[in-house]
Amino acid sequence: MTKEDLVILYEDNHLIVVLKPQMTACCPDESGDSNLFDTVKEYIRVTYNKQGNVFLGLVHRLDRPTGGVMVFAKTSKAAARLSEQMKNGGFEKKYYAVLVGSPNKKKATLENYLRKNSVNNTVYVCTQTEEGAKFAALDYEIKEEKNGLALADIKLHTGRTHQIRVQTAAINCPVYGDMRYGGEKAVKGKLALWAYSLRFTHPTTGESLKFIIEPPKDETPWKLFEI
């Protein structure tokens, strides 16, 4: 992606909030593909005629297939304060996911221990005593059901790798388009997982900020639902 593709939701001297497109990496990785982090840095460099290395703080991440709201810090002070908020649960992160099938409970909290296999970059549910086990929790509420699919509104309490995908697959309702964790219920298509709402406290003013951006309504399977 280029800086011309950038969708900016909010910007001031301390932070910048942008839309992360699906299938775009949020930061540089071994693939060498263009990514959101470098694109935002280039935007700042050109827009404000910055010389030398531009500072940009990566505060949180979204998986490559996931789209939605992301915030980056423009100063080291903002980066430290936002990272502290993130660590202490000060960020409210909400997602929409289209699930294959519908959970028995239309509203519930999922709690698991997850472990990451770094060799194949896959996460799985494990026991609390297993080495590397990390606690994961989320709340979900089913908003609508159609054609064997369910629209879930999800609030994250922890930010584990692939958390939503692994926890919904563990209740036999994998995310639409998830070929990694979907198993026999996997449906081919773009991953239907979208970070639609982000709320946090401004690192210098203390103001509560909330940003919402809806998933692409004209795309399958989002277009099936009233969002």
63 as an active site residue: the answer is yes
Catalytic residue among 5, 29, 33, 63: 63
**If DSSP states are collapsed to H, E and C, what string results for the chain?**
CCHHHCCEEEECCCEEEEEECCCCECCCCCCCCCEHHHHHHHHHHHHCCCCCCCCCEECCCCCCCCEEEEEEECCHHHHHHHHHHHHCCCCEEEEEEEEECCCCCCEEEEEEEEEEECCCCEEEEECCCCCCCEEEEEEEEEEEEECCEEEEEEEECCCCCCHHHHHHHHCCCCECCCCCCCHHHCCCCCCCEEEEEEEEECCCCCCEEEEECCCCCCCCCHHHCCC
Catalytic positions are: 63
